[in-house]
Structure 1
Amino acid sequence: MKGVKPELREDPEAVTVLDPPEWMGADAREEWERVMPILAARRILSAADLGGLENYCIAIGTAREAERLIQKFGLVTETETGLKRNPAVGIQSEAIKTARLIGAEMGLTPVSRSRPAIRDDEDDDDPFDLS
């Protein structure tokens, strides 16, 4: 693509203020309150995106809760048959991976924000013209 990276198109019906769902855990609510203003300022979050935002916040909350368990009990636990990995390590790993994937889709990572946006209008430039 030639030229300057296009701006994300604002949605005239974008969600701009929304409190976290009551049922969310404390860590997930904290993340919602951190990222919602960022997404609202961009005016790109629609009602259809709220499920993704909920899942992102839940994943972050789960990762934080798992970290507290790891800090309390350690990376490994002693059992009758010897040392085993603390189950919270696997839970945290999955939650971090989920948060990273959803966060990238929502433009919450530096890499995802640096990618060119998709435009609705047609580009008249020939994509094969290298001159």
Structure 2
Amino acid sequence: MAGNSNSGRKAIPATVHLIRGNPSKKSAEELAGATSRSGPPAQAPACPDFLTADAKTEWRRIINDLVVLGVVTKIDRAELAVYCQAWSDWKMARKKIAEMRDTGFVETTPSGYKQMSAWMQVANRAEDRMRTAGSSFGLNPAARGRLEIRSPQGELFPNEQKDAAEKYF
């Protein structure tokens, strides 16, 4: 098989592409991400009951904006749950590290060697999970540049999605 949509490098945000001088000679439509996107409608999935309290708080904090931007659907529940739980794990680990002060970063093994503390390892792994899952929803600047946000057909009526997109971009 020659490849699929996941092959090759990740797309560069249009603004970065234009700053570099558009060496690939892409059209304005390609740079603006004017590709048509089909799929389920943007809709908030139900928050899983097994998430921790901090994870549920993060879910409530971001879900409305993700729906308005049109980047989350009911079938994205698991990916969003991974992001929110990773946020909760990261927050808990960082609190433990702060409580331990200097000993929160490095531990001494029984043989006398220094190594990264267990809490620091938990924090780093949770941060990696947050970045990976969050990039699916445009929760960092580079990922937002790769999102294909559907543009409205006309301007006859107020458009919440367009207003929200302008707030973030």
User: Do these two structures clear the TM 0.5 threshold for a shared fold by scoring above it?
Assistant: yes
Query: What is the distance in 1 between the residues matched to 2:37 and 2:82?
Result: 24
Greater displacement, 20-29 / 79-88: 79-88
The residue correspondences of 1:32-51 to structure 2 (distance < 5 A) are 32-51=59-78
Length, aligned pairs only: 118
Which residue of 2 is the match for residue 111 of structure 1? 142
Query: What is the distance in 1 between the residues matched to 2:52 and 2:148?
Result: 33
Query: What is the distance in 2 between the residues matched to 1:111 and 1:15?
Result: 24
Q: CA RMSD in A?
A: 2.7
Unaligned runs of 5+ in 1: 120-131
Which residue of 2 is the match for residue 97 of structure 1? 128
SS in 2 for 1:24: coil
Percent sequence identity is 27
Question: What is the one-letter code of the residue matched to 2:41?
Answer: E
SS in 1 for 2:28: coil
Greater displacement, 4-13 / 30-39: 4-13
Query: What is the distance in 2 between the residues matched to 1:116 and 1:38?
Result: 14
Instruction: Kindly provide the CA deviation profile for residues 6-45 of structure 1, in whole angstroms up to 9, marking residues without a partner as x.
Output: 36858663214x5532221121112111111111111231
The residue correspondences of 1:115-130 to structure 2 (distance < 5 A) are 115=146, 117=148
Counterpart selection for 1:13 from 16, 37, 41: 41
Counterpart selection for 2:106 from 41, 51, 76: 76
Instruction: Kindly provide the CA deviation profile for residues 59-116 of structure 1, in whole angstroms up to 9, marking residues without a partner as x.
Output: 1110000001111122234565445432010010011011001111111111111126
Unaligned runs of 5+ in 2: 1-25, 151-169
